[in-house]
Amino acid sequence: MNVTEHLLKHQIKPSVQRIAIMQYLLDHKTHPSVDEIHAAISLYIPTLSKTTVYNTLKLFADQDAAQMLTIDERRVCFDGDATPHSHFLCKKCGSIYDFFFQESAKDVMPQEVNGHEITEIHYYYKGFCKNCLNHND
């Protein structure tokens, strides 16, 4: 995917910093936190502040170019894949895994409930991942 085109498609003006942050999200499907993204990108853009990283990610989420995950109350995480899918958080190692819906998400997503318009749905699952289960003492 061309990052510049992706940003333009979501009405986001592509700056060097925005392209770097979006590229990182698309390259790292591990649902990184603001701290992780900032640590990686500030290696080659040292002037980049954590606040700018957060504000940029918030803009991506507002424009549907990425999604913000609040599954882990200790840190806000981000996903470069904005299509509706659910997430599983391992309570031991903190890894976040993707669960994809079987049918097209649009078919299962209600557009309206009791007169309220639905624009986002978040499905969060928590437990212990298979890696942690395999390493039990």
Give the whole-angstrom CA distance, residue 56 versus residue 91: 28
Number of residues that bind Zn ion (CB under 5 A): 7
Residue 8 in contact with Zn ion, rule: CB under 5 A: no
Helices (H) and strands (E) in the chain, counts: 6, 7
* Residue 79 engages Zn ion in binding (rule: CB under 5 A): yes
Closer residue to Zn ion, CB minimum distance, 40 or 129: 129
Q: Which of 123, 96, 126 is nearest to 109 (CA)?
A: 123
- The answer to whether 105 contacts Zn ion (rule: CB under 5 A) is no
- Quick one: 28 or 58, whose CB is closer to Zn ion? 28
Q: Minimum distance from CB of 92 to Zn ion (Å)?
A: 5
Continuous segment of H or E residues that includes residue 65: none
Task: Tokens for 34, please give them.
Answer: 């603001």
Residue 120 binds Zn ion (CB under 5 A): no
Q: Please count the other Cβ atoms lying within 10 Å of the Cβ belonging to residue 103.
A: 8
Please name the residue that has the structure tokens 């803009």. Answer: 59
Q: Using the rule CB under 5 A, is 129 a contact of Zn ion?
A: yes
Which listed range, 5-13, 20-28, 40-48, 73-81, lies at the site for Zn ion (CB under 5 A)? Answer: 73-81
Binding site residues, Zn ion, CB under 5 A = 79, 90, 92-93, 98, 129, 132
